[in-house]
Amino acid sequence: MLNYEIMRLIDTIKIKNAVEKMCIEACCKISFDVIGCYDAALADESSPMGEEVLRQLIENAKIASTENIPACQDTGMSVVFADIGEEVSFTGMSITKAINDGIRDGYEKGFLRKSIVKHPLDRVNTGDNTPAVIYYDLLKGNKVKLTVMPKGFGSENMSALCMLKPSDGEKGIIDFVIDTIDKAGPNACPPLFVGIGLGGTADKAMLLAKRALLRKPGDRSSKKIDAKLERILINKANELGIGPAGLGGNTTVFDIFIESYPTHIAGLPVAVNISCHSLRHREIII
């Protein structure tokens, strides 16, 4: 049972202001971790064309950060993870309105492209990049963790789900993931970061794959079985030779992250959520 005397009150204007700031920062300032991947790949890349693309990515990230302009024209659909402590109560507008207001103001003030249409068929732009795709999670404690991920669609469009048979096992997972990356080719703007969701239901697997993209580059899964599979997939994906911008080379992926969850005895869901080289997200704890 909740003890209302210990509930922490948060004014949702703080949420709105934080989201606004994170939208601009995520789009304009590629994180040091990600730039570190560009640098490391440049040192290893064997193809001259691949090297040139990586050099351009490094230069582009520098210019975007210095001039506070988006690193890519596709400033994405806003995906927001709101992890809310059970001892938090909100005052002011609803949290969903606060998040969407933050996105609207962030995209306006940051001169970020508005890319959202009202309906998948009528294609009329909403004009302010809302609504966001928001996932709420309840956790212990009295804090709110907000993560804003502007998700580009060149890579989102190449994402995929497969409901494998349990007997397909590790080989089935590897074949599906590598085939998905191969089909993405240059369209997903490689080198890629790839999130994999294993288990749960079809929808849970897709969400796990999206959440996997929040991991820090270079961090392997804490589950041995998943960490081993991540290493296998990274090596196999880089053997595809797609390379930076799809022009050939040995850097097709910067990293692959797996998040897994229990599943049904009759199924083996595998989801692949692809991010381009502009892996962008910001988080704040309030």
Question: Would you tell me which residues interact with ligand SF4 (CB under 6 A)?
Answer: 72, 74, 152, 154-155, 189, 276, 278
Nearer of residues 78 and 155 to ligand SF4, judged by Cβ: 155
Question: In degrees to the nearest 10, what's the CA dihedral of 277, 279, 280, 285?
Answer: -160
Nearer of residues 45 and 74 to ligand SF4, judged by Cβ: 74
Name, in order, each residue with C-beta under 8 angstroms of 173's C-beta and a sequence gap of 6 or more: 164, 196, 198, 229, 268, 270
Nearer of residues 66 and 157 to ligand SF4, judged by Cβ: 157
Could you tell me if 15 and 144 are in contact, meaning their C-beta atoms sit under 8 angstroms apart? yes
User: How far apart are the C-alpha atoms of 266 and 247, rounded to whole Å?
Assistant: 41
Could you tell me if 52 and 137 are in contact, meaning their C-beta atoms sit under 8 angstroms apart? no
Residue 245 — φ and ψ, nearest 5°? 60, 10
- Find the shortest distance in angstroms from Cβ 226 to ligand SF4: 26
User: How far apart are the C-alpha atoms of 191 and 39, rounded to whole Å?
Assistant: 12
Nearer of residues 159 and 278 to ligand SF4, judged by Cβ: 278
How big is the chain, counted in residues? 286
- Find the shortest distance in angstroms from Cβ 278 to ligand SF4: 4
| Sign, Cα dihedral of 240, 241, 244, 246 | negative
- Find the shortest distance in angstroms from Cβ 72 to ligand SF4: 3
- Find the shortest distance in angstroms from Cβ 242 to ligand SF4: 14
- Find the shortest distance in angstroms from Cβ 28 to ligand SF4: 13
User: How far apart are the C-alpha atoms of 62 and 17, rounded to whole Å?
Assistant: 26
Nearer of residues 189 and 271 to ligand SF4, judged by Cβ: 189
Q: CA separation (Å) from 32 to 55, 92, 221?
A: 15, 35, 21
Nearer of residues 173 and 257 to ligand SF4, judged by Cβ: 257
User: How far apart are the C-alpha atoms of 204 and 81, rounded to whole Å?
Assistant: 14
Nearer of residues 16 and 29 to ligand SF4, judged by Cβ: 29
Residue 73 — φ and ψ, nearest 5°? -65, -25
Q: Which residue is nearest to ligand SF4 (CB)?
A: 152
- Find the shortest distance in angstroms from Cβ 128 to ligand SF4: 19
- Find the shortest distance in angstroms from Cβ 236 to ligand SF4: 22
